Amino acid sequence: MRIALFITCVNDTLFPDTGRHVVRLLERLGHEVVFPEGQTCCGQMHYNTGYRRPAAKLAVRFVRTFEDADAVVVPSGSCAAMIRDNYPRLGGSGSRLSRKVAGLAPRVYDLTELLVDVLGVTDVGAYYPHKVAYHPTCHGLRMLGLGDRPYRLLRAVRGLELVELAGATECCGFGGTFAVKNGDVSSAMGADKARHAVESGAEVLCAVDNSCLMHIGGTLSRQRSGLRVAHIAEILASTEKEGALR
Amino acid sequence: MSATFLGIPPFPEAARAAVDDSRLRHNLRKATHTIRDKRGAVVTELEEDWERLRSEGAAIKSHTLRHLDHYLEQLESSVERAGGHVHWAADAAEANAIVTRLVQATGETDVVKVKSMATQEIELNNALAEAGITAYETDLAELIVQLGDDLPSHILVPAIHLGRSQIREIFLDQMAEWGVAAPEGLTDDPRALAEAARVHLRERFLRTRTAISGANFAVADSGTLVVLESEGNGRMCLTLPETLISVVGIEKIVPTWADLEVFMQTLPRSSTGERMNPYTSTWTGVTPGDGPQEFHLVLLDNGRTDVLADTVGRQALRCIRCSACLNTCPVYERTGGHAYGSVYPGPIGAILTPQLRGMSSEVDEALPYASSLCGACYEVCPVAIDIPEVLVHLREEVAAGPGHLGEKAMMKGAEAVLGSSHALNAAQHAAGAARNLVPRHLPGMAGAWTDTRDLPDVPAESFRQWWNKHEKGQS
């Protein structure tokens, strides 16, 4: 299958390895990945902070860039949720944007949805000999409804021991600009999430969203916990022959 | 004079103090998690019925709000037909004046109150005090707040921020001034505390001839008012006095008695995690020889009509004050209710308060941002209020206003960079080149990040730079 990658602005700029892992994983599974050059950002930061007009402009750009794709993979639960749940609110009813979104949004998938629902695989042939805890990010959990898909994918990884994370469904406290506008509350939430992660006994905390991981990972790093964070794509892309990219 | 929310700083600042208060954090965490777990268990046992009840509740409320003028007039005539009197109050001042006049007409200077958010909203106790009338709170938690000269911090459990040893101290210090003193040697055993409150209140109930209540629901076709509670103190207030004055927000209406069926299932499960609440009291006008012989209903607008005019924001008026959103909110759990600077705290307060008051102050402008948009509040709401949607909607109003210049500049900058892939690529090149110059501690607003979290390392090349090489077979 020919799959268009929407890398997201945060991944593109700060976490390019996530995109490389997605490419490596999908190519290994025999699919073609294309990267439409005109893409930039889904507009989530603008939308969530109350800047609707720039968010709408970015939505128009996204739709224009990806409207011909058979499937769009987004290695970020919150950006996928922005496109599927919030784009329909950005155009007025019957507007050109809402018509286009209605056509495109059902073909936009988080990585774990694409693998399980569209490509029909749970065992992607990965090897990752570490203790791993999974943090179900809020948008992945509640807006996309990823359910057990990430867990099924992780359980099928050879060598991986999946450990339970206490308070898993609680928000890590990132919330985009919330992390700076309400820094104290955000930090307190992040500290609790980090504590649960450490107490889980995991070596690696993974999620479907680098933004949440940047917040939790930054907290873990400041605490010198020794626990690292990884996007789920990194784990699924790793094999016995080719370990994780660094 | 009771305490007031006036003067509480905007949320981020008020929250900072709360986050630093370890005793408060402990009390809140324990209490919210206990109720949260109980709610989860009793909601889960209803299985798919829950989603049906949830959408029916939302539909009944939405329908009523859409035809509110009709149902209000119907309620007025059915209450009067049953022997009650109806008064209309456009705002807090009008409502307070009406209630004060009604109490004065009874010749009493003491009134008992069953917990009512509406009278908290209009600060009725202060208005009565100015007229020389003392209002005695009878809900246990509300009594604690009143004795402690404190402010409520939760819709259902106004004293949730206090531990039992703090409550014991308040009882020992204050009860004597308000009536029957606390027994000597009072311990912080919950049963001993409840017994002290019971003895204190019993004397008050038997002596007071005028009562003020709120209502959870007002049934339009029969004129019946409904209060749900756990302690029975409300029932004492509603039945023993001679005059009963109920102050009720105009959004509390349901069309028919049959509509209560849905809410009698969803409200107790959502609020206290019980299948049904211990006391449900209903009253319709007056009945000779039974209960209060004079009944007044004060219907309160106080901004609600304005909220109704906002097509996105109006869903906040569906709220049945269950407080499930507070108990599940990770932000509320760490800040408590006082930080919201209003009688309605938590996620529902963050959308209801700025709409009722109008977003003209820093406190109200900060409220729509007092959320990480995690969506847990929407998930538990028994009338399916999409709180995150309203939060974002209200943020748009704030962002359209004159303030937040630094943020606006930042958003403008981001818009320019993200407006074309070339601009983004150029910015990424620049960031990659300057990657070793990023300081460990950032100045200004971004400092909120680096105070407690490390920044990620800026990579040498962006994904799109790597992709271009990958496509050319160089990777």
Specify burial of residue A224 (Cβ count, 10 A radius: 0-12, 13-18, 19+).
exposed
| A246 band by pLDDT with thresholds 50, 70 and 90 | low
Spatial CB neighbours of A106, under 8 Å, sequence gap ≥ 6: none
Contact B418 A40 (CB under 8 A): yes
pLDDT of residue B470: 82
pLDDT tens for each residue of A77-112: 999 999 999 999 998 788 899 999 999 999 999 999
Token pair in block for residue B291: 């209960």
- Model confidence at A243: pLDDT above 80: no
Give, to the nearest 10 degrees, the angle between helix B260-271 and helix B48-66: 120
The answer to whether B348 and B99 are in contact (CB under 8 A) is no
| B15, B378, B407 ranked by CB distance to A184: nearest | B15
Q: Exposed, middle or buried, A96 (CB in 10 Å: 0-12/13-18/19+)?
A: exposed
Q: Which of A38-47, A212-221, B399-408 has the lowest mean pLDDT?
A: B399-408
End-to-end Cα, chain A, rounded Å = 28
* DSSP type of residue B10: P
Segment B27-46, tens digit of pLDDT: 999 999 999 999 999 999 99
The amino acid at residue A205 is: L
Query: Is residue B369 over pLDDT 80?
Result: yes
Residue-wise pLDDT for A113-158, tens only, equals 999 999 999 999 999 999 999 999 999 999 999 999 999 999 999 9
What's the rounded Cα separation, in Å, for the pair A246 and A242? 11
Quote the DSSP letter at residue B357.
Answer: H
pLDDT for res B438 = 79
Quickly tell me which residue has 């970020």 as its tokens. A76
d(CA B196, CA B186): 8
- pLDDT higher than 70, residue B391: yes
Contacts of B51 (CB under 8 A, 6+ apart): none
B421, A40: Cβ pair inside 8 Å? Answer: yes
CA gap B324, B377 in Å, rounded: 7
Of A14, A180, A222, which has the smallest distance from its Cβ to B458's Cβ? A14
Longest Cα separation, chain A: 52
Sign of CA dihedral B156, B159, B163, B165: negative
pLDDT of residue B447: 84
d(CA B451, CA B243): 58
Q: What is the pLDDT of residues B314-362, one digit of tens each?
A: 999 999 999 999 999 999 999 999 999 999 999 999 999 999 999 889 9
Q: Is the CB of A183 less than 8 angstroms away from the CB of B398?
A: no
Please report how many Cα atoms fall inside a 13 Å half-sphere around the Cα of residue A54, on the Cβ side.
27
Q: Do B375 and A143 touch (CB under 8 A)?
A: yes
Q: Which residues of A touch B384 (CB under 8 A)?
A: none
What's the mean pLDDT in B373-381? 98
Sheet strands (E) in B107-199: 110-113, 134-137
Q: Tell me, what's the pLDDT at B463?
A: 96
A1/chain B closest Cα distance in angstroms = 18
Share of chain B above pLDDT 70, in %: 99
Residue B461's CB: how many other CB atoms inside 10 A? Answer: 14
Distances (CA, A) of B253 to B12, B58, B215, B283, B356: 35, 13, 10, 14, 18
B464 → chain A, closest CA residue:
A12
Instruction: Give yes or no for a contact between B230 and B272, defined as CB atoms under 8 angstroms apart.
Output: yes
Q: Which residues of A fall within a CB distance of 8 Å from B446?
A: 180
Q: Cβ–Cβ of A184/B456 closer than 8 Å? A: no
Do the Cβ atoms of B414 and A45 come closer than 8 Å? yes
Of B20, B330, B370, the CB nearest to A189: B330
Q: Which two tokens stand for residue B235?
A: 């029932």
pLDDT beyond 70 at B218? yes
Using CB atoms within 10 Å of the CB of residue B351, give its burial: 0 to 12 exposed, 13 to 18 middle, 19+ buried: buried
Q: Across all residues in chain B, what is the average pLDDT?
A: 94
Q: For B432-472, write each residue's pLDDT tens digit.
A: 888 888 787 887 778 888 888 999 989 999 999 999 988 77
Spell out which residues of chain A touch residue B462, defining contact as CB-CB under 8 Å: 12-13, 16
Chain B residues inside the 8 Å CB shell of A185:
12, 15, 19, 331, 334-335
Q: Is the dihedral of CA A186, A187, A191, A194 positive or negative?
A: positive
Would you state the structure tokens that stand for residue B369, as one six-digit string?
């941002």
Q: How far apart are CA A141 and CA B375, in angstroms?
A: 9
B219-261 residue pLDDT tens: 999 999 999 999 999 999 999 999 999 999 999 999 999 999 9
Question: In B45-139, where does DSSP find H-type helix?
Answer: 48-66, 68-81, 92-106, 117-121, 124-130
Contacts of A37 (CB under 8 A, 6+ apart): B421, B464
Q: Three-state SS string across B203-242, please? A: HHHHHCCEEEECCCEEECCCCEEEEEECCCHHHHHHHCCC
d(CA A125, CA B136): 69
Backbone angles phi, psi at B244, to 5 degrees: -125, 125
Q: Which residues pair with B248 in a beta bridge?
A: B299
**pLDDT value of residue A91:** 83
- Residues B299 and B250: beta-carbon distance below 8 Å: yes
pLDDT tier, A245 (very low <50, low <70, confident <90, very high otherwise): low
Residues in B closer than 8 angstroms to A38, CB to CB, are 421
Cα separation, A111 vs A72, whole angstroms: 9
pLDDT at position A85: 94
DSSP B7: T
pLDDT level of residue B192 (50, 70, 90 thresholds): very high
Does residue B475 have a pLDDT over 60?
no
- Coil, strand, or helix at residue B403? coil
Residue B5: pLDDT above 90? no
More reliable by pLDDT, B269 or A245: B269
Contact B371 A178 (CB under 8 A): yes
Here the tokens at position A232 are 């789920």
Contact A38 B335 (CB under 8 A): no
Q: What is the DSSP letter of B338?
A: G
Rg (CA), chain A: 17
Say if the ipTM goes beyond 0.90.
yes
Of B369, B407, B454, the CB nearest to A222: B454
Whether residue B3 has pLDDT greater than 90:
no
Name which of A58, A171, A183 is nearest B449 (Cβ-Cβ).
A183
Task: Check residue B444 and give its pLDDT.
Answer: 78
Q: For A186-203, write each residue's pLDDT tens digit.
A: 999 999 999 999 999 999
d(CA B102, CA B114): 17
pLDDT of residue B407: 87
| Residue B200: both structure tokens together | 């204190």
Residues 6+ apart with CB under 8 A from B84: B223, B285, B286, B295, B296, B297
Sequential DSSP letters for B415-471? HHHHT-HHHHHHHHHHHHHTGGG--SS--GGGHHHHTTSPPPPPPSS-HHHHHHHHH
Q: What is the pLDDT of residues B289-319, one digit of tens each?
A: 999 999 999 999 999 999 999 999 999 999 9
Give the single-character DSSP code of A127.
B
Minimal CA–CA distance to B147: which of B125, B122, B118?
B125
